[in-house]
């Protein structure tokens, strides 16, 4: 019999109706009574470090979850985290960077409807997750939701109400779950050869700035004192506007001269950035040796910047950061990046 640790953190799956609206209030042990079929294949222990709408979950909670899993790692075959769907993709990406090369599965799940409603996706998602966490082929951080297992760095919430809320972006699903069976599309556990590593530091001083037509660099100028890194969600394959009173070009110079990170990404969900295609992107990339997120999700980009900044030593920030960021972790980046000096050996 497999041993699984269920870590409940709140979210819709555990929510009930209150006068103020839906809020988490179903205790972790009560979640399990709705999915009793799990007893056929695993034994479950429970932890409940907090009970929050995931709107209120951020870096300190990601670190807490990684710490709990590290403390309990030896005692279990797999881990299931129940979590709200709204920021689940950020938590899954953050945990992918905080817990690397895990041969045991860390599954994150939740639902669009509370578990105690007569019609709900919660019971299927939770039972599927316990099954996935008990499977010898599963490993690493994944979201299990709507019948799919998605690599923790590739998930995005694309639907606010439907049961198939999450998609795997620029990467195939890892597995499909149906009628108590798991079909692995990517069955690669034997490729995990490095030891499991837990990280304990994130630098939260990262800004995600979405461009809109008419925006110039004045926003970057004002935010300069507050952040160590900015991820810019550009249009299309990537570029920066050339108009305006405060040119982006000058602001990018200010940030990079100060040793801060400027990471280019795209606000287009599918297919990724490629700053070298258009003049509006290529010149600024070349002049400042800018990095870009290519086919990564924004959730993975932001949390990977936090993780890499947290590890890089200040004296050699840019070199170390570049190396850490361009190393593929939990399937997060596949596009060939010319001149990126990335290490693409670990997929
Ligand atoms: N607001 C909820 C949360 O993210 C939504 C959900 O769980 O589906 O906690």
| Mean pLDDT, residues 78-103 | 98
Range 22-39 average pLDDT: 96
Closest to 292 in 3D by CA, of 258, 335, 251, 246? 335
The per-residue pLDDT for range 148-204, each reduced to its tens digit, is 999 999 999 999 999 999 999 999 999 999 999 999 999 999 999 999 999 999 999
Q: What's the mean pLDDT when you consider all of the chain?
A: 94
In order of 4, 278, 294, 331, 339, the CA distances from 336 in angstroms are 38, 18, 8, 13, 9
Confidence of residue 269 (pLDDT cuts 50, 70, 90): very high
pLDDT surpasses 50 at 40: yes
Ligand 1: distance of its center to the CA of 11 in Å? Answer: 5
Report pLDDT digits (tens) over 216-262.
999 999 999 999 999 999 999 999 999 999 999 999 999 999 999 99
Cα–Cα distance between 196 and 69 in angstroms, integer? 12
**Smallest CA separation from ligand 1 atom 7, residue:** 84
pLDDT digits (tens, 9 = 90+) for 279-311: 999 999 999 999 999 999 999 999 999 999 999
- Is the per-residue pLDDT at 78 higher than 80? yes
Query: What pLDDT sits at residue 342?
Result: 46
pLDDT of residue 201: 96
Q: Return the best residue to mutate from 8, 9, 11 for the ligand 1 pocket (most ligand atoms within 8 A of CB).
A: 11
- pLDDT at residue 341, as a whole number: 44
Q: Which residues are catalytic?
A: 12
Cβ count near 273 (within 10 Å):
27
Tell me which residues have their CB closer than 6 angstroms to ligand 1: 11-12, 53-55, 84-86, 110, 112
- In 10 A of CB 281, how many CB atoms? 23
CA 219 from chain center: how many Å? 26
Give the closest residue to 80 by CA, choosing from 53, 49, 44.
Answer: 44
Q: How many A from CA of 160 to the centre of ligand 1?
A: 9
Note whether 279 and 245 are within 8 A (CB).
Answer: no
Identify whether the C-beta of residue 271 lies closer than 8 Å to the C-beta of residue 170. Answer: yes
225 CB-side CA count, 13 A? 1
Q: Model pTM greater than 0.85?
A: yes
Given a cut of 90, is residue 346 above it in pLDDT? no
Residue 96: φ, ψ to 5°: -65, -35
CB neighbours of residue 321 within 10 Å: 21
Burial-class residue 288 by CB neighbours within 10 Å (0-12, 13-18, 19+).
middle
- Of 196, 190, 162, 203, residue with least CA distance to 79: 196
Ligand 1: centre distance to CA 206 (Å): 23
The DSSP bridge partners found for residue 15 are 24
CA distance 191 to 87: 29
Closest C-alpha among 91, 61, 81, 70 to residue 126: 81
Confidence class of residue 347 from pLDDT cuts 50, 70 and 90? very low
Q: pLDDT grade, residue 343 (50/70/90)?
A: very low
- pLDDT exceeds cutoff 70 at 314: no
Instruction: Say what the pLDDT of residue 293 is.
Output: 97
Residue 345 scores a pLDDT above 50: no
pLDDT for 44 equals 98
Q: Check residue 316 and give its pLDDT.
A: 64
- Cα of 276 vs centre of ligand 1, distance in Å, is 38
Structure tokens at 252: 């990018």
Phi, psi of 172 (to 5 degrees): -70, 160
What six digits make up the tokens of 51? 């009970």
Helices (H), the chain: 28-32, 59-72, 88-98, 122-133, 218-223, 248-257, 279-288, 298-311, 317-325
The percent of the chain in helix, strand and coil, each rounded to the nearest 5, is: 35, 25, 45
Residue 38 has pLDDT above 60, yes or no: yes
Q: Which atom of ligand 1 is nearest to the CA of 10?
A: 9
**Among 83, 110, 159, 163, which is best to mutate for testing ligand 1, by the most ligand atoms less than 8 A from CB?**
110
């Amino acid at each position: 019999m497999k041993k699984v640790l269920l870590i409940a953190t709140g979210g819709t799956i555990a929510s009930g109706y209150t006068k103020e609206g839906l809020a988490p209030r179903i205790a972790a042990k009560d979640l399990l009574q709705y999915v009793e079929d799990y007893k056929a294949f695993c034994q479950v222990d429970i932890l409940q470090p907090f009970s929050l709408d995931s709107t209120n979950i951020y870096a300190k909670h990601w670190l807490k979850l990684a710490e709990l899993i590290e403390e309990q790692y030896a005692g279990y075959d797999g881990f299931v985290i129940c979590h709200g769907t709204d920021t689940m993709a950020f938590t899954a990406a953050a945990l992918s960077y905080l817990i690397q090369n895990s041969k045991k599965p860390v599954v994150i799940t939740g639902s669009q409807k509370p578990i105690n409603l007569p019609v709900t996706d919660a019971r299927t998602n939770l039972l599927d997750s316990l099954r996935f966490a008990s499977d010898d082929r599963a490993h690493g951080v994944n979201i299990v939701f709507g019948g799919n297992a998605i690599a923790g760095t590739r998930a995005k919430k694309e639907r606010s109400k439907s049961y198939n809320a999450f998609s795997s972006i620029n990467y195939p699903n890892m597995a499909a779950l149906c009628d108590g069976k798991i079909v692995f599309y990517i069955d690669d556990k034997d490729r995990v050869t490095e030891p499991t590593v837990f990280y304990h530091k994130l630098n939260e001083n990262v800004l995600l700035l979405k461009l809109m037509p008419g925006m110039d660099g004045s926003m970057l100028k004002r935010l300069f004192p507050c952040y160590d890194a900015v991820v810019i969600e550009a249009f299309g394959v990537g570029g920066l506007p050339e108009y305006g009173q405060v040119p982006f070009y000058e602001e990018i110079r200010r940030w990079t001269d100060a040793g801060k990170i400027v990471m280019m990404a795209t606000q287009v969900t599918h297919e990724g950035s490629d700053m070298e295609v258009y003049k509006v992107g290529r010149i600024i990339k070349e002049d400042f040796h800018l990095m870009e997120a290519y086919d990564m999700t924004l959730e993975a980009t932001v949390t990977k910047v936090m993780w890499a900044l947290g590890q890089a030593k200040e004296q050699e920030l840019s070199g170390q950061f570049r190396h850490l960021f361009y190393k593929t972790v939990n399937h997060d980046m596949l596009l060939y990046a010319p001149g990126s000096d990335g290490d693409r050996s670990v997929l």
